[in-house]
Amino acid sequence: MIKISPMKEEHIPRIHEIEKSCFSISWSKEAFENELKENSLAYYIVAESEDAVLGYAGMWIIVDEGHITNIAVHPDFQHQGVGTLLMQHLIDEAKRKHFFGLTLEVRESNIKAQNLYRKFGFVSEGLRKGYYQDTGENAIIMWKYFK
């Protein structure tokens, strides 16, 4: 059984492993520590099964909207509904807080992620040219509106 719970400091080593396995530019352990300890706008969750972290997601709460910063599932647990559970939890939290909407950036080439977001009602609203430093790839700005 998969459980969604708040991210804690003890999750960070595993989260950092997942981050490195999923992204060409990964956040550092210190970045995650800073999000938990210093960023009052941060909301982060983990998906766990039998004390193993399978994935994580996070967003920044900015007035009446959420900016999804990360969502990742360890490659060994992808295509098993973990990403869907994480995304649904972020959406449920956004609705609970009466957000106007949720936004995120996604690589133009990351069709798998775009399809997940579209499944939840996100739509493409713009482009950030050269957004990703490693390749200069564009980011698609996606939004899900609640009102």
Which one of the listed residues 43, 44, 56, 117 is annotated catalytic? 117
Structure tokens at 66: 């959420």
- Find the angle CA(140)-CA(20)-CA(129) to the nearest 5 degrees: 20
**Whether 117 is catalytic:** yes
- Is 43 annotated in the active site? no
Pick from 107, 32, 95: nearest CA to 65 = 95
Beta carbons of 85 and 2 less than 8 angstroms apart: yes
Q: Which of 105, 131, 137, 145 is catalytic?
A: 105
Q: What stretch of H or E contains 1?
A: none
In three-state secondary structure terms, 129 is: coil
Q: Please spell the DSSP secondary structure of 12-75, one letter per residue.
A: HHHHHHHHHHH-SS---HHHHHHHHHT-TTEEEEEEEETTEEEEEEEEEEETTEEEEEEEEE-G
Annotated catalytic residues are 105, 117
